[in-house]
Amino acid sequence: MFAKNRNKKVGRRLRVVLVVLLGFSLFGPAISAEAGVSEEWEVDILAPYLLPDKNYSDIAFAPNGDLVYTVSSSTRQPCDSFLGRIAPNGTLSKFATPCIDHPGSLAFTPWSGDAVVMVEGAGYCDTIYLVSPGQATVFLNCSVVVNSDIQVAHDGSFFVGDLYPCRITQIYENKQVTYMDPAIPRGPDHEMLRLAMDSAGTLYLAVRGTNTIYRYTNAMLPREVYSTDFYRPHALAVDADDNLWVSYVSGPTFNIDILSPDGTITPWASGLPDVTRLEFGPDGLLYGIVGYEIVRFVRTDSDSDGVPDDEDAFPDDPDEWADADGDGVGDNADQNDNSDLRATVVVGGSDTGVPNQVDALVGLSIQDYINEIEAYEYSNHGLYVSAVAHCVEDLLYAGVITEDEADIMMSCAAQSDIGEKE
Ligand SMILES: [Ca+2]
Ligand SMILES: [Ca+2]
Ligand SMILES: [Ca+2]
309 CA distance to ligand 1 centroid (A)? 7
Average pLDDT over residues 259-288: 93
Same domain, 236 and 343: no
Cα(68)–Cα(92) distance, rounded to whole angstroms? 10
52: confidence class by pLDDT, cuts 50, 70, 90: confident
**333 CA to centre of ligand 3 in angstroms:** 9
Query: How far, in Å, from the CA of 341 to the mean position of ligand 1?
Result: 23
249 to each of 185, 269, 276, how far by Cα in Å?
A: 20, 12, 10
- Measure the CA dihedral 237/243/247/249, to 10°: 150
What distance in Å separates the CA atoms of residue 304 and residue 206, rounded to the nearest whole number? Answer: 37
Q: Could you tell me if 121 and 261 lie in one domain?
A: yes
pLDDT digits (tens, 9 = 90+) for 114-152: 888 887 766 667 788 888 877 888 888 776 666 688 898
45 inside domain: yes
Task: Please say which residue of 303, 322, 340 terminates a domain.
Answer: 303
CA–centroid distance, residue 23 to ligand 2 (Å)? 27
What is the 336 CA–ligand 2 centroid distance (Å)? 7
Report percent pLDDT > 70 for the chain: 83
Quote the percentage of the chain above a pLDDT of 90: 50
Q: Within a domain: residue 400?
A: yes
Q: Which ligand is nearest to the CA of 310?
A: 1
Same domain assignment for residues 246 and 342 = no
**pLDDT at position 31 over 50:** no
Supply the pLDDT for residue 10.
28
Residue 357 CA to ligand 2 centre (angstroms): 13
d(CA 106, CA 117): 5
* 3-class DSSP assignment, residue 214: strand
Report the alpha-carbon distance of residue 185 to residue 176 in Å, rounded: 24
Residues 297 and 401 in one domain: no
| Residue 392 or residue 4, greater confidence | 392
212/120 same-domain check:
yes
For residue 189, pLDDT over 70 is answered with no
> Per DSSP, what are the bridge partners of residue 277?
289
Domain membership flag for residue 284: yes
pLDDT score at 3: 34
What is the spatial distance between Cα 370 and Cα 392, in angstroms, rounded to a whole number?
Answer: 9
State in Å: Cα 324 to ligand 1 middle: 14
Q: Which ligand is nearest to the CA of 324?
A: 2
Has residue 282 got a pLDDT over 70? yes
Ligand closest to 313 (CA) is 1
Per-residue confidence (pLDDT) for residue 190, from 0 to 100: 57
Instruction: Average the pLDDT over 258-285 and give the result.
Output: 93
How confident is residue 178, by pLDDT bands cut at 50, 70 and 90? Answer: confident
Ligand nearest to the CA of 336: 3
- Within-domain flag for 310: no
Domain count for the chain, please give it. Answer: 2
User: Which range, of 69-73, 79-83, 108-112, 185-189, averages the lowest pLDDT?
Assistant: 185-189
Output the CA 22–ligand 2 centroid distance in Å: 29
Say yes or no: 193 and 342 in one domain: no
Residues 335 and 291 in one domain: no
Residue 82's pLDDT band, with cuts at 50, 70 and 90, is confident
**Is the pLDDT confidence value at 30 over 70?**
no
Domain-located, residue 317: no
Domain of 366?
330-415
pLDDT of 188 strictly over 60: no
CATH number, residue 70: 2.120.10.30
Ligand 3 centre from 367 Cα, in Å?
11
Q: Is residue 47 part of a domain?
A: yes
Task: Say which range, 293-307, 334-348, 401-415, has the weakest mean pLDDT.
Answer: 293-307
On whether both 191 and 125 belong to a single domain, the answer is yes
Q: Say if residue 272 is in the same domain as residue 376.
A: no
Ligand 3 midpoint to CA 327 (Å): 6
More confident residue, 308 or 112: 308
Surrounding ion ligand 3 within 5 Å at CB are: 325, 327, 334, 336, 339, 363
pTM, to two decimals: 0.72
Summarize the confidence of residues 288-303 as an average pLDDT.
91
Residue 275 lies inside a defined structural domain of this protein: yes
Asked if 349 and 285 sit in the same domain, the reply is no
| Integer Cα distance of 102 and 77 in angstroms | 10
For residue 16, the model assigns a pLDDT of: 25
How many angstroms separate the alpha carbon of residue 339 from the centre of ligand 2? 7
User: Are residues 147 and 281 located together in one domain of the fold?
Assistant: yes
Query: What confidence tens digit (pLDDT) does each residue in 192-249 have?
Result: 689 999 999 999 999 888 899 999 886 666 788 999 999 999 999 999 999 999 999 9
Average model confidence (pLDDT) for the chain?
83
288 burial type by CB count under 10 A (0-12 exposed, 13-18 middle, 19+ buried) = buried
What pLDDT score does 321 carry?
A: 97
Q: State the pLDDT at residue 290.
A: 93
**Number of the ligand closest to the Cα of 321:** 1
pLDDT at res. 37: 63
Angle at 370 between CA 366 and CA 373, to 5 degrees: 145
- Asked whether the predicted pLDDT for residue 11 surpasses 70, the reply is no
pLDDT tens digit string along 361-390?
A: 999 999 999 999 999 999 999 999 999 999
Q: What value does the mean pLDDT take over residues 62-90? A: 86
Q: State in Å: Cα 88 to ligand 3 middle.
A: 39
Assess if residue 168 is contained within a domain: yes
Q: Range with the lowest mean pLDDT among 73-77, 96-100, 116-120, 279-283?
A: 96-100
Residues 258 and 353 in one domain: no
Distance 22 CA to ligand 1 centre (A): 17
Distance CA 159, CA 203 (A): 9
CA atoms within 13 A on the CB side of 172: 7
